[in-house]
Amino acid sequence: MRRKRRSSPPNIYEMFSDIALLMLATFIFLLVTILITARMAEQYQTPRLKTALAELQTKLDKSRAERTRLMANMDALIGLSTDKQMKRALAAAGLAKGKNRKDFDVFVKGLRDLPGNSLHLLIDATGSMHGVSEFLVPILRIIVIRSGKKLDALTWFSDGKADTYKGSMGEMFDRLMEGAPFTGANETIGYGFRYAADHAPAPGAYLLIGDEPPADRIRYFHIPSPVYTLPIGRDNPETNWHYQKLADKTGGKMLHLELK
């Protein structure tokens, strides 16, 4: 009677070879899947990205041209005396004659009530302020000179972003026009004051200039100095109410100046 042959046990090398081939096949499958998916996404996204980049480039070119024009106007003003600068700035803002000029003179008198020897300007740099940006710096220059205070720092705010500048008055205004966006729709005044307090010493007074009410919470008792507020542009009851409240809560005062 013939004996049955025992089946040979599995070869360990063959088992590892089979596992390796299976892993290689899985890797190739995943790689091909990723490549196909990436290719499809690229074909879909690339036209949209190119269009978005073209729009951003157009906006950037317009912004650069606008800044170049504004800086040229500033350069022209630098060589003028303070009185001539004031006359040109008031003329550009529609405040050179009649009742508007009288309002400005009254406003300047109110500036002299600011306490202390130093001043920190806070500027609303959202899109609603873009229309007054052309004559904003000349007006700011006159405000600082007529206040008799030393401009210690300047902070702009917009859409939860802010920046603080120090140095000479000319340097700060130059950096304002170069760095402030004058875009966006959220007047984050509370964030602006927190940023200003963290990045500059407490001044004799803050002067807030803007045209819209705050879009965030203002922590009044964390502001280290009195706030004088200056709502400009159209008469907005909501803006006036918030600016008056901010001044009252911090021991400051709301000033008035209409730019028409």
SS3 assignment, position 219? coil
Quick one: tokens of 202? 């407490």
- For the stretch 80-132, pLDDT in tens is 555 666 666 666 555 556 555 555 655 656 777 788 999 999 999 998 887 66
Instruction: State how far the alpha carbon of 139 is from the alpha carbons of 5, 76, 188, in Å.
Output: 106, 15, 23
Q: Is the pTM of this model over 0.75?
A: no
Q: Where are the alpha helices (DSSP H) in 156-236?
A: 169-179, 189-199
- List the one residue out of 225, 245, 220, 156 whose CA is nearest residue 192: 156
Q: Which residue has the higher pLDDT, 21 or 13?
A: 21
Whether 252 has a pLDDT exceeding 90, the answer reads: yes
Q: How far is CA 19 from the centre of its chain?
A: 59
- Sign of the CA dihedral with 72 first, then 73, 78, and 79 last: positive
For the segment 10-37, the average pLDDT, to the nearest whole number, is 75
The pLDDT value recorded for residue 40 is 72
